[in-house]
Amino acid sequence: AIQMTQSPSSLSASVGDRVTITCRASQAIRSDLGWYQQKPGKAPNLLIYGTSTLQSGVPSRFSGSGSGTEFTLTISSLQPEDFATYYCLQDYNYPRTFGQGTTVEVK
Amino acid sequence: EVQLVESGGGLALPGGSLRLSCVVSGFSFSNYWMAWVRQAPGQGPEWVANIKGDGSKESYLDSVKGRFTISRDNAKNSLYLELNSLRAEDTAVYYCARDANYQDNRIYYDVYDIWGPGTKVTVS
C-alpha cells in the first residue's frame, strides 16, 4: 500500500497567517491527490481534488500544488473556521490511503 | 437534499458480527460507486471498501478481506457493510461516502464528496 506522510502533525497559527501543510507519497502518484478537512465529531469534507482543483464552494484562500510524490496544501490567510485537521488522500491505486493528519490549532 | 445516514453500529464481542447500513437520498444512487471509510479513536480515516454502482465490482482493505463484505440494494437506495470475526482493532466510527469521479482537464479523479455522520462500532 502507498504510504502518505504528512508534516507537520500539528501547528499553531493565528488568524491571517499563511499556513502550509506537506504530504509525501511513498511512490509516485501523478496528481491523484485530494485534501480533506475534518472538524471534531464531523465527517471529513472534500476541499481539493486532482492536487489543485478546488471543490465547489471551497474558499479561494485554499490552494494545492505538487505532483509525483510531494504535495502541498496552502491556506493563504487563515480564518477562524479553518482551525481543523487536514488529511491528504491518494486515489492513484487501491487501497486508498490517507495521511495521518495535520491539526491546525489556535496560537 | 443529498443525504447519507448510517446505522447499525454498537458494541460487539471479539469474534462477533454486525451489519451496518447506509440509506441514501437526493441523488441517483445506482449511478455511483460507494465506499466505507472508518476512523479509529484519535486516528486518521482509513478506507475500508468500495463497490461499483451496479454491485458488480468490490475492493477491500487487506486487513478486512474475508471478514467484511460490502453490498448494496439499489432498489432501496441502501449500502451495507457486513462485519464478521470482529477484532478490537476494528473499533472505529464507520462512515459511508459517495465515491464519485470528478473530471479536470480530461483526467478523472476519485473523490469522496458526500459523507454520512458515521456510526460507532466498539469491539470489546
Tell me the CB-side half-sphere exposure of residue A51, using CA atoms within 13 A.
Answer: 18
Examine the pLDDT at A42 and tell me if it is beyond 90: yes
pLDDT confidence of residue B106: 86
Q: How many CB atoms lie within 10 A of CB B15?
A: 10
A69 secondary structure, DSSP code? T
pLDDT confidence of residue A59: 98
Mean pLDDT across A66-79: 97
pLDDT confidence of residue B81: 98
Q: Are B35 and B50 in contact (CB under 8 A)?
A: yes
pLDDT confidence of residue B70: 98
pLDDT confidence of residue B104: 82
Examine the pLDDT at A70 and tell me if it is beyond 90: yes
Which residues contact residue B120 at a Cβ distance below 8 angstroms, ignoring those fewer than 6 apart? Answer: B9, B10, B92, B93, B94
Mean pLDDT across A11-20: 98
Query: Which residues in B have their CB inside 8 Å of a CB on A?
Result: 37, 43-47, 59-62, 95, 97, 102, 104, 107, 109-113, 115-118
Q: C-alpha cell of B91?
A: 473499533
Using pLDDT thresholds of 50, 70 and 90, give the confidence band for residue B105. confident
User: pLDDT per residue over B26-47, tens digit each?
Assistant: 999 999 999 999 999 999 999 9
**Cβ of A98 and B44 within 8 Å?**
yes
Apex A47 CA angle, A62 and A30, nearest 5? 95
Q: C-alpha cell of B121?
A: 462500532
Query: Which residues in A have their CB inside 8 Å of a CB on B?
Result: 1, 31-32, 34, 36, 38, 42-46, 49-50, 53, 55, 87, 89, 91, 94-101
User: pLDDT per residue over B52-93, tens digit each?
Assistant: 999 999 999 999 999 999 999 999 999 999 999 999 999 999
